[in-house]
Amino acid sequence: MDENFVAHQLSPSSWSRYEECPRKYWLSRQRLPRKASMPAAMGTAVHNSVEDICNLDLSDREESEIGWLPPTAKAILDRHWALEKEAFLDTPRHPRWKDEMITKAHDGLVGALNILFSKSRMEKTALSGVSVGMWRNVQSMVLANEGTLVSECGRLMGRLDLLIADLDEDGNSTGWVVADLKTGKPPKIDLNEKVSRQLRFYRDLIKQNNPDHPPLHAEGWYSSNQTVHRAEGPSVLDDAMIAWEGMRHSETPLEGTPESQSCGFCEWKAWCPTWWAARRDGTLPPGGVFRDEVVNLVRFDPNSGAALFERAPPIGDEGEVGRSEQKFGALLRDQALEHMKELIDSEHDGPIFIGSAKADGKVMHLGDWSEILPWDPLLKSIRE
């Protein structure tokens, strides 16, 4: 085997990243400073809470006890919310933590528990009316939760939310259901292709690892409106293996494929010259109200947060930038102001990447939602 070969595994998220833009995937593998997001933190808190509630030891409680589930679920969610907040604030790049989103997280947890309860085929009841005995029945239906799935060859992996028994009207198991909990926006009609592929990926790995499996299908559970969407279609494992081949470690960046959607949600733009060159060439629009720029700092007042920037146009395609006559003012506050002060204190005197600058007037505004980073295009792998 090549001594320089770096083993890698394909997951549904890395597959999607590679498909959107190979260079984005390559950058995500370089151990650059990570970025946290509130939707991801909320989703993790809800997922981990569902796992803990499924694993509760209720052996010391009476079968008939009711009223225990809502306060228990709240206490578990509060604990995971605090853990996620700590991890969020410890992440090198993060916006403002929104404590108010715990209400949405609570609603998501209730929605997930309601879906799980409905799968038990017991008569619908409010969570406050769920007895200990009823929840034990739900637990008996759960075959696995929050497990890691790995293909026989070791190249494909995914995180399983739930594997449950598929019960008929009489409560008898007729097969298995692979369930993936979704805390985001539910589909209007059908699952989008990427979500469907993700669900079928989990389904196919379980089939591969369990040759004698019973009838099996995959579902997406959307907690916000408590809807269930089934993923139909052929196996995706052959396509996954083809993608895995293209995702091998490379010392030089993989090809960038700049496009509004993939670049708009890319967290690695401070290290990628491709999108900035695409802006110059007109293949990537400048954006709407929230814009990303590469600039030179002309003036900055740390007391007021007022700054004057000069757009730094790309020279060539590898990240070198120059000077221009295009200048614009900006007002920095909160985290954006602190990050600019830190950047100046670090004695950085080169170009700067500014992310999500609000451009709804003559002066741009940068705040907790924005990013200020050194412009540092990565042209060679820095993985050890």
358-379 pLDDT tens trace? 998 889 999 999 999 999 999 9
Q: What is the pLDDT of residue 6?
A: 44
- Report the alpha-carbon distance of residue 232 to residue 196 in Å, rounded: 7
Q: Which domains does the chain have, with CATH numbers?
A: 12-239 (3.90.320), 260-374 (2.40.50)
Full strand arrangement of the beta sheet holding 157-167 = 142-150, 157-167, 173-182, 216-222, 227-231
Q: Which of 11, 81, 73, 96 is nearest to 43 (CA)?
A: 81
160-194 pLDDT tens trace? 999 999 988 888 899 999 999 999 999 998 999 99
Residue whose tokens read 């589909």: 187
Residue 147 reports pLDDT greater than 60? yes
| Cα separations in angstroms, 24 against 5, 74, 114, 201, 273 | 20, 38, 37, 22, 11
Strand partners, 166: 175
Residue 309 reports pLDDT greater than 70? yes
Q: What is the pLDDT of residue 67?
A: 96
Q: Spell out the alpha helix ranges (H) of 303-366.
A: 334-345
Provide the residue type at 383 as one letter.
R
Residue whose tokens read 């799935």: 149
315-359 pLDDT tens trace? 999 999 999 999 999 999 999 999 999 999 999 999 999 999 999
- Record the tokens describing residue 363, joined without a space: 């002066």
